Amino acid sequence: IDPDNPDIVYSEYQYGNITRYDKKSGQGTGIKPQPRKGEDTYKWNWNTPFIISPHSGTRLYIAADKVFRSDNRGDNWEVISDDITAQVDRNTWPVMDRYWGVDAVQKDVSTSLFGMAVSLAESSLKEDLLYIGTDDGVISVTEDAGENWQQVKSFPGVPEYTYVSDILPDKFDENIVYASFDNHKRDDFKPYILKSNDKGKTWASISGNLPENGTVHTLEQDNERPELLFAGTEFSVFFSIDGGKIWTQLKSGLPSVAVKDMVIQDRETDLVLATFGRGFYILDDYSPLRVLSKELLDSGAYIFPVKDALMYTMTRGRYGQGSTPYFSKNPDFGAVITYYVKEAPKTLKQIRKEEEKKLIKDKKPIPIPGMEELRAEEKEVKPYLIFTITDADGNIVRNINKPYSKGLNRMAWNLRYPAKSSVRLKNDKYDPMANDRDGMAVMPGKYFVSLSEWVGGEVSELVQAVEFNTVVLNNVTLPAPDLAELLAFQEKTARLTRAINAAQKITDNLIKRTQYVKQAINNTPDAPAELLAKATEIELQLDDIRWAFYGQSPEASREENWPASPSINERVGALVYSHWGSTSRVSETQMQMYDILAEEFPPILEELRNIAEVKLKALEAELDAIGAPWTPGRIPEWSE
């Protein structure tokens, strides 16, 4: 994309066929350099290197077996080099341990010619300092836009004629340049990354501990920390915080795939990868890597600086698009917290397994654990992490539990309080990882996050509170004039909704209990007839309460029901739906809905409490007195 005019886009397909595309008109202009009069055709690689100069948005460079420069967006080109290759005829080389004649099957068919540029870069620090790499192992350097060239054909530890897969001029020192080499076509899959401190005159390897079978395709360097490098290889992407001495794989969420190109999005500090197979992967905000150090990695745990969290209301996603459109996942919303944990505590079962593994290795008997030991393993709750969010006054806003996972990890707080609605169980049992549902949004301002661990029932702090800010995106046309007032309204709405939801569930539960009571009375031969009448009366009262909550059940839509007084559930749904996902001011209609609910709900709640605590309890006591069968909800009476 043209840095000065985003309506101009350059697009290239195989063999240097480049088009300048006008987004406004939809027109495209072919700007591939053409041979001059009396000149042979150029040799273009399948992946021809092309760049826009970092010093001028109208200046372009492209390279074949020669290098071309344009200062007017490709309208005309100047040839600024002679042949930059090793000028070797590949037909003079043996293939599969022999030489081949012109009649060999598919000889040189469906493959690029040999001896051409495959990598190209200009220093962002010094204008006209260019580096060109070829498929036959040559790096050419010019410091004056092609007036004078130097060629390097020999590199320490790199076989002769090895493909120069990428060249990266340093972003902090004009004398430093990096290069990667790819020799897999000769059955050599070693990683080759070299560094020069004198503009390419001499080179030294910085491949470090990269895997032996991981060909390097592309390189990148951080824009703030010179020693932070990235290497895209045949199987993944690696980073180094010490200039290439030690490399570490980035693999969470990234499959084992060839990373062919990389670029850094400066504003957001995102690392963008292009992979073989036309895939794109984005590591959002890799800035935590900038503060990594050996001392940090040796510490027990650490929370990295947290970027300002933008506050806005997310859309509900797209639908009705058919099967063709594809939408990738957005970055996590809210406060993204990157953290490091050196080691994870072991469970009882993990400890036993490790001990057994040692005994197996030493060919010693393995003790069989007793039943109590196995039960302890089964009942043990795995250790987990607790992230505690507090506001500027020290009030706990939310606790978020996460599984213990060593190394670098990420989690996100969605800038909301926990829900006040009823609790739900995951798989009908307690699970500390089943975090609560979301409640109302918090106020913008200063917050803190600390990290603790839960191990064997004990909670211990690992990292003290780290400060961060939540900032309103300011994209609302009719914002609430007073966010505190909006939050207060949402708070009282949440408390009312909590009580109503709980009362609805209690009503359903009491109806079920009453059904059991009626069945128990029916199954007791000497039960007085008035007991069944009492149970039926309670059942009818509960049914009236349930009708007040739910109203008429719709066949398809409530809009098709006959006109009737709105149910409690309808009013609550309309109130919550109309403002819960908005930061606009509270409307008069919403306040009126709340007032109606606050008036209609208390009498229903009081009647429900009387049934649960007085009427049904008294009836169940009478069942105990006559020895009726047990029913859910009551403790049986027994004595010798």
Same domain (yes/no): 487, 558: yes
Same domain (yes/no): 468, 489: no
Domain boundary among 146, 174, 205: 205
pTM above threshold 0.85: no
The predicted structure's pLDDT at residue 282: 93
Domain boundary among 228, 258, 292: 292
What separation in angstroms does the CA of 65 have from each of 42, 79, 149, 350? 6, 11, 14, 60
Residues 382 and 347 sit within 8 Å (Cβ to Cβ)? yes
Q: Is residue 533 part of a domain?
A: yes
- Lowest mean per-residue pLDDT among 18-32, 82-96, 141-155, 557-571: 557-571
Same domain (yes/no): 112, 179: yes
446-469 tens-digit pLDDT: 999 999 999 988 999 999 999 999
DSSP 263: E
Would the pLDDT of 53 be above 80?
A: yes
Q: Look up residue 633 and give its two tokens.
A: 């909800």
Domain boundary among 171, 205, 239: 205
Q: Look up residue 501 and give its two tokens.
A: 């939801």
Would the pLDDT of 364 be above 90?
A: yes
Same domain (yes/no): 49, 192: yes
Q: Is residue 330 part of a domain?
A: no
Same domain (yes/no): 466, 491: no
Same domain (yes/no): 102, 161: yes
Express as a percent the part of the chain with pLDDT over 90: 72
Q: What is the CATH number of the domain that holds 99?
A: 2.130.10.10
Same domain (yes/no): 530, 616: yes
The Cα–Cα gap between 437 and 275 comes to 37
- Lowest mean per-residue pLDDT among 128-137, 176-185, 454-463, 580-589: 580-589
Number of alpha carbons in the 13 Å side-chain half-sphere of residue 425: 4
The predicted structure's pLDDT at residue 154: 96
Q: Long-range contacts: 183-192, Cβ < 8 Å, 24+?
A: 183/158, 183/159, 183/215, 184/215, 184/234, 186/159, 188/159, 188/162, 189/213, 189/214, 189/215, 189/234, 190/215, 191/215, 191/216, 191/231, 191/233, 192/155, 192/157, 192/158, 192/162, 192/216
Same domain (yes/no): 413, 495: no
Q: Is residue 31 part of a domain?
A: no
Domain count, the chain: 4
Q: Is residue 109 part of a domain?
A: yes
Q: CA geometry: angle at 253 spanning 248 and 255, to 5°? A: 80
1-32 tens-digit pLDDT: 999 999 999 999 999 999 999 999 999 999 99
Smallest Cα–Cα separation from 46: which of 87, 68, 16, 19? 16
Same domain (yes/no): 50, 197: yes
Domain range for residue 505?
Answer: 483-625
- 528 φ, ψ (degrees, to nearest 5): -60, 145
Number of alpha carbons in the 13 Å side-chain half-sphere of residue 312: 12
- Lowest mean per-residue pLDDT among 20-34, 379-393, 541-555: 541-555
pLDDT range class, residue 334, cuts 50, 70, 90: very high
Q: What is the CATH number of the domain that holds 389?
A: 2.60.40
Mean pLDDT across the stretch 362-381? 92
Mean pLDDT, the chain, whole residue set:
92
Q: What is the largest CA-CA distance in the chain?
A: 118
Would the pLDDT of 40 be above 70?
A: yes
Q: Is residue 157 part of a domain?
A: yes
Same domain (yes/no): 585, 534: yes
Same domain (yes/no): 563, 529: yes
Q: List all residues 6 or more positions away from 182 whose beta carbon is below 8 Å from its beta carbon.
A: 162, 163, 165, 192, 215, 216, 217
Q: Is residue 180 part of a domain?
A: yes
Q: Is residue 429 part of a domain?
A: yes
Same domain (yes/no): 543, 444: no
pLDDT range class, residue 559, cuts 50, 70, 90: low
- Lowest mean per-residue pLDDT among 226-235, 365-374, 435-444, 558-567: 558-567
DSSP-derived secondary structure for 530-577: HHHHHHHHHHHHHHHHHHHHH-SPPSS-GGGSPS-PPPHHHHHHHHHH
177-218 tens-digit pLDDT: 999 999 999 999 999 999 999 999 999 999 999 999 999 999
Q: Is residue 314 part of a domain?
A: no
